[in-house]
Structure 1
């Protein structure tokens, strides 16, 4: 009896934890070296009594350089804490900038993003492009809907996985493409069309029944959930940070249309490039999902956001609180391509899942791999010299590096993936409950998540705004 066909599988590389020497970064080595110098000087100056007297200094430095807390070295928390307190002291953690008033104007200012973004209409695409002169990138946003994957047979799933791989290969082959973002937003709402239809076609001869049914629709308006999927592609501006000309727009449109065609082959139905009105609604929903769920007017009326206040572990807006997580570790074993089903299709309320793929040039990827292999070889020699045993995680990292190098030499592309998850709620207590539910769903998907404390503003912008922005 033959084994059942389980379909295609996916394998992820481990999170690289290598350092300059013995897994320690340059900063850690400097701190540990300083602790060693202090201890040696104390011993040569006053013997063991000097070592004991100086123990608070060298012991503190040794702990700061070698111990990790929350997945980050103690010395790595220092710049984060300093930056957070500096921003908090200067009032940079609070803003009153609106997130929805984008339809009438040319410039766009959003909380958590430095500088202004320029909106440029593109007739070739029939949508709007977002130009960020600070980074010299132009972003187009494509609305997409899936054609089904979980219930497909193994052959259809394998075909769609291969087609999506070819779409990412297109991004690797086009040097103009800087970043690709896939954003799946699940939020309350979805009955606006039903309410609008009932108000237009209700039976005026029976006002009692009409009022009763209208009340039922009003009460259940925020109960259902609607899922939206966007694919944002950021390309290099042909003229750098200067204003785009008509020929520049045509060139950018060709790059975007090329990747959009590859996405459709991968099994996504393209709903067109979004315009100013849709962009205004999507951006407002990222900051105030509750207010947007109850709004039935045009997005141009969604203005007057009361502002954003960034906290250590969350982001507070006028109608809710948000917390953004980073997927610090993808599944370590081979998994089915639908492994994110608990996060995407489970019981999700006001949750945004974002995947950012950044193509790496082949020469840069090979340099990084070879530098990492040299660092691992130096660590292995040092461990052999001091008699330290090499652990299995180090051998797994080396195997991942060799596999990546072999794939690059064979002609494949290399991408740097980043996963972000944002949970939204109306209050702090409800947010913690939903965060716990999300962490449970992530565990079912065999992913490890970590809350991005001290940087919730920039993390929320990267996770919830379909602008294909980098995380760091």
Structure 2
């Protein structure tokens, strides 16, 4: 009797607060409103309370009400930052195409400062140095042997192998962040035509003519799936003007060990992205059609600009050279147990041009245990406050506490701890197509039992974190 693969279970989005589910800023705003109301009552009585309502009532509303899943007090700094960036002109980027950019540096929208690029001494992998973040990132092209058509035993083995890969990364103290990025890129029919052009014997038979006609009808607009894994490790100290050869060699040993760990999950590391190919990989996140045309040209065309020649960040979208992007955050994973292939509608939607990025940050065991202890104390304090005010504990609070206890038990048992963030980038050619593309993605996310939220006021940062394979920190 065959059984299905082992079910996957996810923790709930933590909503703990300082007091009765309210965060520190919310408690401060509510306390200020109550203080003003109390002072008005003591000084002027009921009339003073009514007169001062114009002050304390908005404070109470701002401290207790949420809009689009975000407390009102959390909207204030976001709106202020957005207005300031627009006023200073930091939402628009224009790059001159007259001068040839330095291949050793990268200036990209959404990333402060300049990134430096160097080559690893042995593998030739492109090492992207971010001085501000203190990280060095390498990008690997990865392929697998399939998953959805495997039997339950094989799927369980591959899932367990991927878990061991994550555990290996957790044990590497030098690893800061790991990003798994899968995207649909144009040019799905081009490899077929190239293979046929190289292997066609030109016999002129009936079968040869049929195959040639089929290959000729393959649409150039067809998409193909591309999977990249980026690993960000801590940059060595005393960098000077760049990575020293001995430091690069040490980092390469770490990357080699991480690459070998992929074999246990039936994954194949096709190649590390080299400096000369880095521009094309990054360019595809901004102008996928142009990048695909450059790849399929009869002669090799160097990518002069890895980033866009122009970018405009709007409240809920990012415009680049020939594309419009909208970035979503996966706010809630499936709340019930589900099969490991639950992301199939999101990843394999036919004709959809989107990028799904999973960012994992290893959390040291000591810090994770401190967070768990603090969370347990907050739950106990909230429970005591609810008893005093007569508030009934809801099922969501109990489920969150159960997740916290399960996480503690797994840490005590020797497992690692990772903080996951998932970002989904929808890419279309024109602004008129964006609404349809976003609606299709939201439908596929609902089929995957995921709750997604469109990020606003920070699309530039979100695109850099979710669409670029640079293992950037989550928002």
Distance 2:184 2:301 in 1: 19
2:302 pairs with 1:300 = yes
The corresponding residue for 1:171 is: 169
2:136 pairs with 1:138 = yes
- Count residues with an aligned counterpart: 462
The corresponding residue for 1:254 is: 253
SS in 2 for 1:378: helix
The corresponding residue for 1:112 is: 110
1:231 is displaced (CA, Å) by 0.5
Asked whether the equivalents of residues 103 and 299 of structure 1 are also in contact (C-alpha less than 8 Å), the reply is no
The corresponding residue for 1:445 is: 448
Asked whether the equivalents of residues 189 and 225 of structure 1 are also in contact (C-alpha less than 8 Å), the reply is yes
Distance 1:163 1:194 in 2: 32
Distance 1:305 1:451 in 2: 23
Distance 1:319 1:7 in 2: 42
The corresponding residue for 2:416 is: 413
The corresponding residue for 1:276 is: 275
1:398 is displaced (CA, Å) by 0.7
Q: Deviations over 1:351-401 (max 9, x none)?
A: 000000100000000001100111111111111111111111111111111
Distance 1:214 1:148, change over 3 A: closer
1:31 is displaced (CA, Å) by 0.5
Given candidates 146, 149, 155, the residue that maps to 2:147 is 149
1:305 is displaced (CA, Å) by 3.8
SS in 2 for 1:5: coil
1:136 is displaced (CA, Å) by 1.4
The corresponding residue for 2:4 is: 6
Distance 1:439 1:265, change over 3 A: same
Task: Summarize the alignment of residues 315-330 of structure 1 with structure 2, pairs less than 5 Å apart.
Answer: 315-330=318-333
SS in 2 for 1:115: coil
Distance 1:26 1:41, change over 3 A: same
1:278 is displaced (CA, Å) by 2.1
Asked whether the equivalents of residues 239 and 248 of structure 1 are also in contact (C-alpha less than 8 Å), the reply is no
Q: Which runs of 5+ in 1 are unaligned?
A: 207-212
1:202 is displaced (CA, Å) by 10
Task: Summarize the alignment of residues 21-420 of structure 1 with structure 2, pairs less than 5 Å apart.
Answer: 21-97=19-95, 105-193=103-191, 221-239=219-237, 241-242=239-240, 243-295=242-294, 296-297=296-297, 298=300, 300-301=302-303, 303=305, 305-420=308-423
1:294 is displaced (CA, Å) by 2.6
Distance 1:196 1:85, change over 3 A: same
1:219 is displaced (CA, Å) by 8.6
Task: Summarize the alignment of residues 418-437 of structure 1 with structure 2, pairs less than 5 Å apart.
Answer: 418-437=421-440
Q: Deviations over 1:278-335 (max 9, x none)?
A: 2111111100112223333435245494311000000001101000000000111111
Asked whether the equivalents of residues 103 and 276 of structure 1 are also in contact (C-alpha less than 8 Å), the reply is no
SS in 1 for 2:11: coil
Distance 1:354 1:275 in 2: 21
Asked whether the equivalents of residues 188 and 290 of structure 1 are also in contact (C-alpha less than 8 Å), the reply is yes
Distance 1:218 1:114 in 2: 45
The corresponding residue for 2:208 is: none
Distance 1:79 1:453, change over 3 A: same
Asked whether the equivalents of residues 321 and 431 of structure 1 are also in contact (C-alpha less than 8 Å), the reply is yes
The corresponding residue for 2:207 is: none
1:222 is displaced (CA, Å) by 3.6
Distance 2:100 2:4 in 1: 47
The corresponding residue for 1:15 is: 13
